[in-house]
Chain A
Amino acid sequence: MADFEDDSSLLALLLDVSPAALSCLASTPGLGLQSLLEQLLTFVNTFLLLNDANRLAVFTAGAAGCQLAYCSSSCLPPAVAGPAAVADAAWPPSASVLSGLQQAVTAVAQAATAAGVPPAAGAACQLSSALSRALCFINSQQRRTATALPGGGPLPEGPDAGGGGGGAGPGQRAQAARVLVLAAAPDAPSQYIAVMNAIFSSQRSNVIIDACHLGQGHSAFLQQAAHLTGGVYLRPTKPQALVQYLNSVFTLDAGTRALLRLPGAAQVDFRPSCFCHKRQIDLGFVCSACLSIFCEQLPACTTCGTEFEGKQK
């Protein structure tokens, strides 16, 4: 029992609901928003059914920021876990996920209306803040698990203790965590640094970032995120059968993946954005002190102030 390898996982699902993504998704032939959501909820159900201890959090990533739309009852603090677990037991979980999504989207829309901000049609999603938010969530979950289980002893309860279909209790050891980004908006080069920072922190904390890109073209951010964290980047050629992609590739936990051949990106686009104009560049100048990237030669680094000697031309 002590050596039992836990193959459950904590999945943070980031759903891109930015205007750019929505318009892109709505225009995909054979895949309306409704179909997309249905397939996504099917995936959610599948994931939660695969393992009793699987936990899920759903975030909406919009142009205005990121909202937590749903999380498993076992992700809540212990004080509310008890009564909530009963509510969570209502099957299928897709119902709660859906209502959570509804509320999150409504709230953002209301806020925007209340603020009287004109809607920006082509705004991309705040991938950086969404990723950071998901990472914070995962971190807090892992910390809570660690404190709830001093000394990392054996699991205090079997799968039967959780009752009919309820999530396992808080007494779990640190669960493998990953983030799945379901995006359709094109990259916003201005977010390059923030996104890369989020990717690096997730790499450090052993959180895999999976990415499923439904938009046109490839997303360099997501490619790099998956590449650097050891996740899978996938751009479905047939987005109409999204659920098949999701179920075949993204339900798998990290341990199982090691045994499988998963589709991977043959080539990763490693091009960075320059720090000065936020353009994507493939050839640039790098500060010798702080490694900031610039698209043109500058007399001094704008990030760290190092003066570049030598010929200026």
Chain B
Amino acid sequence: MAESSDPTLYTRRAKRGTGANAVEGVCMITRSRVKWQPSDRSKGEAAVIDIGAITRTQQAPGKPFIKLDTAVGALVLGFESVADRDDAVDLLRQLKPPAGGAGSAAGSGGGSAGGKGASPGAGGGKGAAPTAGGKLLLPSDTQRAALFKADPDLGTLYKSLVVAGILGEAEFWSTRQGLLRGGGGGGGGGVRKQRVGLPSAMLADVKPSADGQTEKVHFQLTPEIIQQIFTERPEVHRAFLAHVPHNLDEKAFWTRYFKQQYRRMARRRRQGLPMDGGDDEDEDELFAPFRKSLQEQERQRAKAEVGRVDPTVNLAADAGEHFASGGFGSARDGTRDPAAALRSTHLGAIARDINRHAAVVLGGAPDALDRLREGSTGGAGGGAAAADTARIAAALAEQQTAAAKAAAARAAKGKAPVGGAAAAGQGEAEEVSPERLAEWQTRAASALDDLRLDDRESSYMPLNIQDPRAYFDAGTGAAAAAAATGADGKLAAKQADGSTAAAAAAIPSAAGTAAAAGAGALADGGTSALLAALAAVQPAALPNPPCDPGLAEQVLLELCQDQDASLVQEFGPVAAAALQYPPHDKAHGLLDMLIEHFRGEALKANELLRHFWGNLPLVSAARAERANKLACALQEQRAILVPHMRHPAGEGTSHQVYTTMMLRPLVAAIDAALARHQAEQQQRRKAPP
């Protein structure tokens, strides 16, 4: 069963097609296939392509699209970001059947050198010869050497199984695809680039440093900080684009920025004082107009967004930004504090800043900066700084417009299915279509919408237990009985005078009806015999001695010697006693070399067993043949292990006992496999396919 499954290696949202007709959906890549499923079944058909059948892969540089050509036709997918697309391309390249024996390593090596932005489609053209084993990744020589070096056991295993000819190369590696794909090889495999994170210090690094002698303060800027400032404070970004270098030079720009920042910082520090001018609006005239226009834009965007955003969720988020309004801690009693209102606007501003910062940090470093940094490695001196800043600003702007376009496209597409479409954008935002409302409701009901299945039909599968009556009848019977006893217990408590026994076990006939509902069936000879026995016992005069003293002595000895009859039979009494209490150190008294040997054999046997079970049930001749081969190997393995369990130095030595203890589970597992194999074979012989 494990063999037959084809796990999904990659799942991303992706649209099929381009432009306004694109259908939203999910792209999944398994070891052998590329699948695309639409989010909404009514809007498009799912597509499945064998990776081996892909004749050509094309990507547009800088745009998140991929085109997969096959003999039948092409599949065009648009991902949410270029990074997603690149991941898919990387994966496809890895999964693609190699054109030649050494082709895979060379191909992936070349790909990694090409970097992210490069088009790796070159290799796609030649992989036109899909083979049965082609889905498998096989390690290159260097990769294999690296893997063996990292895990010597793997090397031994490889030697004893593959080199010895018991397992094929492909078989051996098929269970270790993860090792190969994970880039653990290091030998020329395409190591995936890690996205750079951002510090979450919230521009705290940009602290003024005073030299203590003059009144001046100094700020240190790095490209990262500049980029962060630009993303977190769009107004600064815009001001920079508008004024530098035509009206201001860069230094003057930053000086103004930090002057304003410094004032703001100082004001926030004195936040408690109500006379301090108080609001964030008195800004430098350099940034103010941009801030205003941004706020206006933001307002409009928010208005448009209101139509699309699930109100249940958003209200909570909004309340979070205004957390200061209610106050907390000592500031809780807001009504009595005249400065509270003022402070709340301050706190609101801080909360907004934090949120904005958090969004930027979570978004990670954009690729634009990455590329810039790659371009200007080493040249981080003062001279390059000005050009850098300009380039950062330009790259960011470019990225933002691209993102805006994508968002607009998404919005347009989102509107299209809603219907009207003729109505102006705003008019449509006013009202919420019933479908959308229904969607919100289901989402609110399910709370975690990513756990919801795409397919409505299959999302509600009733809990189905075969023959529920057999299951629950017993339970209800017991419950009824319990209820009856419970009620009687209370009754008894009220009576409170009878003997304990009567109180505890009062089951008067009233309870009979309840117990009868449980449909008990116990009124035969067994019960009467029990009742007779109960009546015959005289509790005040229990027999003395209660049982045969001779027997009791034997039992005592048995319990104290604590021997398991079967073990005694197998190993003799002394060894059996030792075996009953395996020491915490299971390998007690065995030679290290021997243990090492056993370990190797155990690894080998486990590997063989894994492959063996993978071939069951024997549904095809090929499987049967493979299973036969493995069964033979297992038999040999068993033949190696069993002599160790015999008595090399006479009956029942500790050596033999410990060895046996160690090897017995392994031999039992092999025996189980062999037995199963025989059964399967017989079945196959009986009913030939």
Q: Point out residues on A near B: beta carbons under 8 Å.
A: 17-19, 22-23, 26, 32-39, 41-42, 45, 62-73, 76-77, 79-80, 83-84, 87-88, 90, 92, 94-115, 117-121, 123, 126, 128-130, 132-133, 190-191, 194, 236-238, 240-245, 248-249, 261-264, 266, 275-278, 282-283, 285, 297, 300, 302-305, 307, 309-311, 313
Contacts and interface: CB of A to CB of B under 8 A. Distances in A.
Contacts of A34: 533, 536-537
B511 A107 contact: yes
A261 B581 contact: yes
B511 A111 contact: yes
A33 B532 CA distance: 9
A34 B546 CA distance: 11
B504 A65 contact: no
B493 interface: yes
Interface of B: 1, 4-6, 458, 461-466, 470-471, 474-475, 477-482, 485, 489, 492-493, 496-507, 509, 511-513, 515-524, 526-537, 539-540, 542-543, 546-548, 551-552, 554-556, 558-559, 562, 564-567, 579-581, 617, 619, 672, 676
Contacts of A243: 546-547, 552
B397 to A, nearest CB: 46
B504 A71 contact: yes
A230 B541 CA distance: 35
Contacts of A249: 559
Contact of B458 (A108, A263, A305): A305
A266 B664 CA distance: 13
B533 A37 contact: yes
A117 B473 CA distance: 15
A194 B470 CA distance: 12
8 pairs of A and B residues whose beta carbons are closest in the complex? A64-B520, A305-B461, A129-B478, A107-B507, A115-B516, A33-B533, A22-B526, A119-B524
27 contacts: A19-B522, A26-B529, A33-B530, A34-B537, A39-B546, A39-B547, A41-B539, A65-B480, A70-B500, A70-B501, A80-B492, A83-B496, A90-B499, A95-B501, A100-B501, A100-B505, A106-B507, A109-B531, A112-B516, A244-B551, A263-B559, A276-B466, A297-B1, A303-B465, A305-B458, A305-B461, A313-B619
A262 to B, nearest CB: 8
Contact of A105 (B503, B524, B534, B551): B534
A41 B474 contact: no
Contacts of B526: 19, 22-23, 26, 121
Contacts of B531: 102, 105-106, 109
Nearest to B521: A120
A244 B552 contact: yes
Nearest to A15: B530
Contacts of B556: 244, 248
Contacts of A263: 559, 562
A100 B504 CA distance: 7
B482 A133 contact: yes
Given A66-B481, A117-B516, A264-B580, 14 more contacts: A69-B504, A72-B500, A76-B503, A76-B504, A88-B500, A95-B501, A106-B531, A111-B515, A119-B523, A238-B554, A244-B551, A244-B555, A275-B465, A313-B617
Contact of B512 (A70, A79, A110): A110
A115 B547 contact: no
Interface centre among A45, A119, A132, A133 (most CB of B within 10 A): A119
Contacts of B546: 38-39, 42, 243
B516 A114 contact: yes
A37 to B, nearest CB: 5
A92 B546 CA distance: 15
A84 B562 contact: no
B33 to A, nearest CB: 12
A87 B497 CA distance: 9
A64 B515 contact: yes
Nearest to B566: A266
A65 B478 contact: yes
Contact of B539 (A68, A84, A92, A285): A92
A307 B459 CA distance: 11
Nearest to B492: A80
A121 B5 CA distance: 47
B90 to A, nearest CB: 25
B265 to A, nearest CB: 51
A18 B522 contact: yes
Contact of B580 (A36, A70, A266, A275): A266
Given A64-B481, A64-B519, A111-B520, A105 B527 contact: yes
A264 B379 CA distance: 74
Contacts of B458: 305, 307
